[in-house]
Amino acid sequence: MEEPIHVIGHKNPDTDSICSAIGYAFLRNALGDAEVRPARAGELNRETRHVLERFSLSEPDLLTTATGRQLILVDHNEVAQALDDIRHGTVLEIWEHHRIGDLQIPSPITFHCEPVGATATLIAEQFFLHDIEPPPAIAGALLAAILSDTLVLASPTTSGKDRRMAPRLAALAGVEVSEFGAELMAARGDIATRSARDLIDADFKAFNFAGHRVGIAQVEVPDARPLVTRRTELLEAMQRVKNEQNLRQAILLGTDISRKGSYLWAVGELRDVVERAFHCQLTDEGVFLEGCMSRKKQVVPVLEAAFASVPAG
């Protein structure tokens, strides 16, 4: 029996990370690569668990080490977001929609990166380019990933390709885009009943900005006002995450879908850099950034530029 090839997303996996891994592994199996299987680098969040249950899909295997394994990465290409020993694994391919990060691969590989709203859009496209129709469950999972990452096609990251792919997948899955999108947003859970740490961990990513480790969590909800009322416990949880992960700065975005903007909170020794980056005055109340909804497109590039001029500590 051949050694398995695992398709795996980033740590603290979201719906795009998990469903893209499931979808790409299924496609490779359909193309005759039976040894390819999906994996995950962490626990599933509420929304993703709902999607897998909704379409009767199995939870991917949990991988805790990359050492000695053959891997296909989806939805990430930064060391801080990958398995801790990623450099001791063999990365064969990367399918991605974020910035090109700091993961260095010693040999040439397939590296497919496009500015679309979700990695699942690229995976779905591969099905159709290979003239393979994804079955309803796989189509539904890929659609869920697209709608999740693009906030039901409302995020500024949404591309024309996302908009074309969504209805095509919806028809195969037997769902309607807007109704299924509302179902997904509801599946994220009532933020009033979730712990502050759960809210932060659900969509948390670490970045290396010019030698500074910065963590950015994002909570996307129809109405972010309940986050404001819980700011004290959220700030305390952010401080714990900062200490545990040895970050210079921890940032929380509370994205208000209805208002089309985000509250921003920050803890750490370089809050002044964050203030300069967004031209704001940070307080424990948080600051509301009008029109800011995308960590990938509107937050990471701004912070990367701001930290570039700060000497590494």
H or E stretch including 5?
strand 5-8
Q: So what's the pLDDT on residue 2?
A: 75
Q: So what's the pLDDT on residue 313?
A: 64
Show the DSSP H helices in the chain as ranges. Answer: 15-30, 46-54, 119-129, 136-149, 160-173, 177-187, 196-201, 225-229, 231-244, 271-278, 300-307
Q: So what's the pLDDT on residue 190?
A: 80
Q: So what's the pLDDT on residue 153?
A: 96
* 159 contact partners, CB below 8 Å, separation of at least 6: 114, 115, 116, 117, 121
* CA nearest to 284, candidates 303, 266, 262: 266
| Residue-range domains of the chain with CATH | 5-186 (3.90.1640.10), 196-307 (3.10.310.20)
CA dihedral over 297, 298, 302, 303, signed as positive or negative: negative
- % of the chain exceeding 70 in pLDDT: 99
pLDDT digits (tens, 9 = 90+) for 46-73: 999 999 999 999 999 999 999 999 999 9
Given a cut of 70, the residues of the chain with pLDDT beneath it are 1, 313
CB 155 within 8 A of CB 23: no
CB 82 within 8 A of CB 125: no
**84, 42, 222, 254 alpha-carbon torsion, rounded to 10°:** -30
CB-based burial of residue 2 (10 Å sphere; 0-12 exposed, 13-18 middle, 19+ buried)? exposed
* 143 contact partners, CB below 8 Å, separation of at least 6: 120, 166, 169, 170, 173, 175, 177, 180
pLDDT digits (tens, 9 = 90+) for 171-193: 999 999 999 999 999 998 788 88
